[in-house]
Structure 1
Amino acid sequence: MQWSWRKTLYCATGILGKEENLTSEPFTRSCWGRISPLYWRVPILVWALVVMLWSISFFWGPTEKFLLYMTHWGLAFVVLESSFGIFVAIGRKGLTDATFGLPWYVKTYWILYNITIPVAFLITVFYWGILKTSAETVNFAPNPVLDIMLHGVNSAVMLVELVFSAHPSRLMHVMQPLYFAGAYMLFSVIYYFAGGLDPWGNPFIYPVVDWSKPEQTMVVITLTALFLALMHLLTVGIAAARDAIAKRRLAVPAGVYNDAFAP
């Protein structure tokens, strides 16, 4: 049997689980009534693109080292997530995949959504709670306004996406943000052993993730992974509360109720 690109994408997105009973409809609207997601996803995309260009312009080192930092990975994911969210909201019905349930672009958006929101929360807490209080002070943000945009507003815009969306968030999808974090950890390990330096010539990307001190770093990595899982749990909880409030306020079913334990 010939292997097609659709089957390849299905395998790649199979971590979403079986979604035969879930249609694309909840992904194309708000849980708060007849509000188009374009009203918040377009501004989020514009914000992310502006902050991305701003960050590159004010980056404190060589441009080729811009993507060393998880903050910038998270910002790039906001761009991707909002772009696919706009594409989904427009509703390209002709691309529906009847064989595997949800269309490929809806699955892709959902995976990006599941990753980007808890990662944004993690970046905010990790930056202000750990990096800003680290004994090895590094000036990651020469521009204080940009500092807040990257490490505060990022969570705010993703909270808007979470609160206004109508599709579910599920506990079983916790591995998706953890895979993202694992990919970044692997990147940092390879970069370290390849002799990579940060813009100031240090042999690490973040002072608290220094692979010359593997025991200390593994403790930080483990705690960060646990906290990221907690951020996913928080995301699921907010989604469940959102749907419960919307259902009661509208006095009619607002769509797919956020059953966090659905397979």
Structure 2
Amino acid sequence: MTVELSMVRQMWKLLEPVHAILYYAPEVFARAEKLGYDTATRWPSYFAWRAAPLGPAGHELVSATFYSFNPAMVREHVPAAWRVATPGEVLEARLDGVGEALQKLIGDQDLTEAVALTRKLVDATSTAARPLAAANTNLPWPDEPHLALWHAITILREARGDGHVASLLTAGLDPIESLVSFAGVGAAPEEVFASRGWSDEQWAAATRRLVERGWLTEDGTATEAGHAGRDEVERITDELAAPAYRALGADDVGRLAQLVMPATMAIVSSGLLPMRSTLGMGR
């Protein structure tokens, strides 16, 4: 049995919640507060946690790699994040917080085999033109199995995200158009995408551009062309992520899904993750 693109996408959906506790677990927020970040909202620490593998990056690099955020929003938090704590301090704190959160959520689950399989996936993942994946790959592997699993999953999700940016560029979608077109196909309500910092005026202008392109109707709903365009974006994203899964093989991919499922279900059932997200996922 070969690894189909549908399996690649399902694996992303299965693995993503494991990475995402970085942005929602109270144990991680406690580390952010200890470092000195404002935790009234999640954004000061979000930019620090996710950008730290890049080193003391400026807002231009972070805007480029994160893509869908309004650069003005990024500028509010970067490089200010590195005046609170160095990237090295942030990386140490994020592992501490994630480690504590995972131990509470998944307990004593034996992750030895899951770690071995995800490391094979990482080894088969190209980091060429994938800056966030490459930056995380350059970090040392944690010794603890639960953190090694989280680290591997983080590399895989950032590699997929880097590929998604390449797919959006291929489709000719700028950062805000990537969100407007995704909302147009019903991936999430428009208000969910407000977290990316774009103004109502910017959203309306991007909607007009996509109406003129034939991707949206006047009310922002995707046309047939818009649905087809977004389907192609997702297909290319899956195709760019597929080589590692094909190298692993369908049997081992299926086995990995079985092994990770309890951890994913524990995280999802905890209620930590949002009901709807800009990734088009929900709890």
Whether TM-score is above 0.5 comes out as no
Return the index of the structure with the highest Cα Rg. 1
TM-score w.r.t. the length of structure 2 is 0.32
TM-score (norm 1): 0.34
Task: Write 1 or 2 for the structure with the bigger share of helix.
Answer: 2
